[in-house]
Amino acid sequence: MSAAARPLIVANWKMNGLSSSLTQIAHLLHGLRRTRGSADIVVCPPATLLSLMACALESSPVALGGQDCHAEESGAFTGEVAAEMLSDAGARYVIVGHSERRIRRAETDAVIAAKADAAVRAGLTPIVCIGESLDVRDRGRTLDVLTAQVLASCPPCLADKRFVVAYEPCWAIGANRTPTAEQIAEAHAAIHGALARRFGSGGRAVPVLYGGSVKGENAAGIFGIAKVAGVLVGRASLDAREFLRIVEAAAPVDPRLKAQPA
Ligand code: PGA
């Protein structure tokens, strides 16, 4: 991570959380008062909590995000959520192409590219997820697969738009294991190479996050890896105290504030 960069920390609550879980947001906002506020934070709750959370986050430094959107603007798509609906509910970001959707919902790169396009048309910042399976890594094809995923999931229309890529190896998600720092650095370098191929030199400025079993204990090491612009956090984002440990690893607590009670 370059010294000047503001890290981006994204909480992906997945299919977790009821209205009672908003107490975690209250704890998070309280805890954030102790940090220097030098990280950008996004919380992506399930769709049922978007409006409640938008109220809870109002006039706070934390942004709201959706976990997925449909590629169409509206229509007969029972159970789906359009990008404009997320924006209308107060979201500024949306995750697209999470591996849980790529694998379980058979979402292809083309579908994900269409969702990213829909997101920017609705004024949202898409967080495009990519990542290799364990089989791909074992066959030594990780960098080829990541390059192909970037080229196929990030459509040319993103060229002059703000978007984010999240590198999440499938085998590290919810698995209590992470790649080595060298593996993460190598993957991020390949991803930036592919982004530059698609978007020219501007591609090298696209923030690329790491995701997969990030927690308080390993966050500092991950933030220290070159070109890692932030993290996408699943399980550890459900508990405000653990999530704050990750935030503090990116933005050390101001010692003058540390004396204040949490
Ligand atoms: P995890 O999930 O932090 O629980 O591994 C990350 C993700 O799937 O985005």
Which atom belonging to ligand 1 lies closest to the Cα atom of 232?
9
DSSP-assigned states of every residue in 183-249? HHHHHHHHHHHHHHHHHGGGGGGS-EEEESS--HHHHHHHHTSTT--EEEESGGGSSHHHHHHHHHH
Query: In this predicted structure, what is the pLDDT of residue 37?
Result: 72
Measured CA distances, 151 to 9, 93, 94, 115, 247 (Å)? 24, 21, 19, 15, 31
Ligand 1 near 174 CB (within 6 A): yes
Nearest alpha carbon, ligand 1 atom 7 = 234
Measured CA distances, 9 to 24, 29, 117, 249, 251 (Å)? 16, 14, 23, 11, 11
Low-confidence ranges of the chain (pLDDT < 70): 1-4, 36, 252-262
Query: In this predicted structure, what is the pLDDT of residue 1?
Result: 46
Query: In this predicted structure, what is the pLDDT of residue 6?
Result: 86
What is the model's pTM?
A: 0.94
Ligand 1 near 214 CB (within 6 A): yes
Query: In this predicted structure, what is the pLDDT of residue 255?
Result: 58
Query: In this predicted structure, what is the pLDDT of residue 167?
Result: 98
Query: In this predicted structure, what is the pLDDT of residue 260?
Result: 45
Query: In this predicted structure, what is the pLDDT of residue 258?
Result: 47
